[in-house]
């Protein structure tokens, strides 16, 4: 197949199939039954902003009795390239996100409504979902277009302000509080979700993935200068066990009872959207529920804080951010009619931080190369998948996720995370 044919095939694989377009047409007919409409599809993300799904913005032109008006929605579909689907866990990720939108988020909304809470006090910070399908090779999710409401993704190359960090911490606190309250009052409602296996752990026996993750250890160690011999010894000791063995002990919710909850799971910059309200206050939404997991709430906090802040920020505000989270957690559990001091007392929260704080390093090892990579340096994901499938990805340089363009920032930020994790007593 020549280069032109390959590009044409790739474009076809990355465009919605006939079945997906039929589902879109039917959704729009239901939404706008009395109006005529036309629509166009436009790419909704830039290169490097989404690794699991292919995202289109559906621009809808409505011809109503009041004249022409416009509307948008988001079409998020699974790639059909078989190797990419395998290497990026595409199908299980879309199944997990469909579970979130079809069952988990409606369940927690019903529970909060049953308590008579007005919307501003509920956990409601997610996009409205109109349709999901998990049919093989046709996986798709239709969502409201938050950008039409002036929500924007914070530039991942800018530093967050404390106001944004505090808002995210309060949002995660409300999300986790609902799980605590449901476990307390309706434990059978969470039974199904408590048994879902972490996406990464589903692939712990993949030999190529194990090789790649062992390479992540070497990349992390390389970020410590030789003069930091004491830190190198501590990190080397921490890394003595296989990556997945360490990760499993820290992430498995059943090992973290009674303090495990349903977690968002993918808490990095591109999955957070912010909007400045008329009152000059900021509101936000969480995107991408493809890594929804049953785990310690610490997993969401460590993922977010350590991938999205600098050491300078953590030095100034780390304890403040944790306090914001815990205070909102207490308030929301109280609003929902349970006793927070019984369900998750502060001393247990602090102990969970010590026991599971090392997740910060593991998450950063996985996602920091992606976060620091500029759009123009992002490798072709289909080719990357083929390399991974052939066992050619032994380290970050092999993958193309670490290159001249992000090596310095990656090395500095990884160094800082390691030092902080040791200073906080998470790695010893």
User: In sequence order, what are the beta bridge partners of 283?
Assistant: 275
The share of the chain scoring above pLDDT 90, in percent, equals 79
Q: Which pLDDT value is given to residue 277? A: 79
Residue pLDDT, tens place only, 89-99: 999 999 999 99
Q: Which pLDDT value is given to residue 8? A: 47
Identify the DSSP state of 263: E
- Our CA dihedral for 10, 12, 15, 17, rounded to 10 degrees, sits at -140
Residue 140 has pLDDT above 90, yes or no: yes
Residue 415 has pLDDT above 50, yes or no: yes
Interatomic CA distance for residues 13 and 251, integer angstroms = 34
Q: Which pLDDT value is given to residue 67? A: 59
Name the pLDDT band for 1 (thresholds 50, 70, 90). very low
Q: Which pLDDT value is given to residue 76? A: 97
Neighbouring C-beta atoms of residue 290, cutoff 10 Å:
24
Residue 280 has pLDDT above 80, yes or no: no
Of 64 and 28, more confident = 28
Residue 226 has pLDDT above 80, yes or no: no
Residue 304 has pLDDT above 90, yes or no: yes
Name the pLDDT band for 5 (thresholds 50, 70, 90). very low
- Say if strands 293-295 and 261-263 run parallel, antiparallel, or are unpaired: antiparallel
Q: Which pLDDT value is given to residue 410? A: 96
Q: Which pLDDT value is given to residue 4? A: 41
- Say if strands 67-77 and 36-43 run parallel, antiparallel, or are unpaired: unpaired
Q: What is the mean pLDDT of the chain?
A: 92
Name the pLDDT band for 36 (thresholds 50, 70, 90). confident
Interatomic CA distance for residues 60 and 142, integer angstroms = 14
Name the pLDDT band for 68 (thresholds 50, 70, 90). low
Residue pLDDT, tens place only, 230-276: 999 999 999 999 999 999 999 999 888 999 999 999 999 999 999 98
Interatomic CA distance for residues 78 and 90, integer angstroms = 7
Residue 45 has pLDDT above 50, yes or no: yes
Interatomic CA distance for residues 385 and 86, integer angstroms = 8
Residue pLDDT, tens place only, 165-208: 999 999 999 999 999 999 999 999 999 999 899 999 999 999 99
Segments making up each domain of the chain, as ranges: 3-80, 86-126+152-423
Residue 2 has pLDDT above 90, yes or no: no
Nearest to 244 by CA among 210, 279, 220: 210
The share of the chain scoring above pLDDT 70, in percent, equals 94
Residue 9 has pLDDT above 70, yes or no: no
Name the pLDDT band for 134 (thresholds 50, 70, 90). very high
Residue pLDDT, tens place only, 402-412: 999 999 999 99
Residue pLDDT, tens place only, 336-373: 999 999 999 999 999 999 999 999 999 999 999 999 99
Q: Which pLDDT value is given to residue 34? A: 67
Looking at residues 76-80, what average pLDDT do you find?
A: 96
Residues 6 or more apart in contact with residue 342 via CB below 8 angstroms:
none
Which backbone phi and psi does 70 adopt, to 5 degrees?
Answer: -125, 150
Residue 7 has pLDDT above 80, yes or no: no
């Amino acid at each position: 197949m020549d280069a032109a044919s390959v590009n044409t095939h790739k474009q076809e694989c990355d465009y919605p199939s006939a079945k997906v377009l039929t589902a879109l047409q039917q959704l729009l007919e239901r939404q706008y039954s009395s109006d005529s409409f036309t629509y166009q599809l436009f790419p909704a993300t830039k290169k490097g902003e989404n690794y699991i799904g292919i995202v289109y913005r559906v621009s809808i032109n409505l011809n109503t009795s009041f004249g022409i008006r416009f509307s948008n929605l988001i079409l998020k579909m699974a790639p059909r390239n078989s190797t990419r689907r395998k290497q990026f866990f595409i199908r299980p990720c879309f199944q997990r996100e469909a579970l979130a939108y079809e069952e988990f988020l409606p369940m927690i909304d019903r529970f909060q409504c049953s308590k008579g809470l007005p919307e501003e006090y509920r956990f409601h910070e997610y996009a409205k979902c109109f349709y999901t399908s998990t049919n093989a090779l046709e996986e798709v999710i239709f969502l409201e277009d938050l950008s039409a409401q002036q929500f924007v993704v914070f530039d991942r190359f800018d530093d967050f302000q404390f106001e944004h960090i505090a808002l995210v911490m309060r949002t995660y606190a409300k999300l986790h509080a609902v799980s605590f309250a449901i476990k307390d009052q309706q434990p059978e409602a969470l039974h199904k979700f408590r048994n879902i296996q972490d996406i990464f752990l589903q692939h712990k026996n993949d030999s190529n993935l194990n090789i790649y993750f062992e390479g992540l250890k070497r990349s992390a160690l390389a970020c410590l200068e030789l003069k930091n011999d004491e830190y190198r010894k501590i990190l080397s000791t921490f890394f003595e066990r296989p990556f997945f063995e360490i990760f499993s002990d820290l992430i498995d919710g059943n090992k973290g009872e009674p303090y495990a909850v349903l977690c968002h799971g993918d808490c990095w910059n591109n999955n957070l959207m912010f909007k400045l309200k008329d009152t000059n206050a900021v509101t936000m939404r969480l995107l991408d529920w493809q890594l929804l997991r049953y785990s310690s709430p610490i997993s969401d906090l460590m993922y977010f804080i350590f991938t999205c802040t600098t050491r300078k920020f953590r030095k100034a505000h780390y304890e403040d951010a944790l306090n914001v989270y815990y205070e909102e957690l207490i308030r929301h559990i109280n609003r929902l009619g349970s006793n927070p001091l019984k369900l998750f007392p502060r001393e247990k929260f602090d102990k969970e931080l010590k026991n599971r704080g090392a997740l910060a390093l593991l998450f950063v090892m996985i996602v920091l190369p992606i976060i620091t990579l500029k759009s123009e340096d992002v490798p072709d994901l289909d080719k990357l998948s083929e390399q991974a499938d052939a066992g050619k990805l032994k380290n970050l340089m092999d993958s193309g996720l670490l290159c001249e363009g992000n090596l310095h920032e990656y090395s500095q930020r990884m160094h800082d995370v390691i030092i902080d994790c040791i200073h906080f007593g998470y790695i010893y």
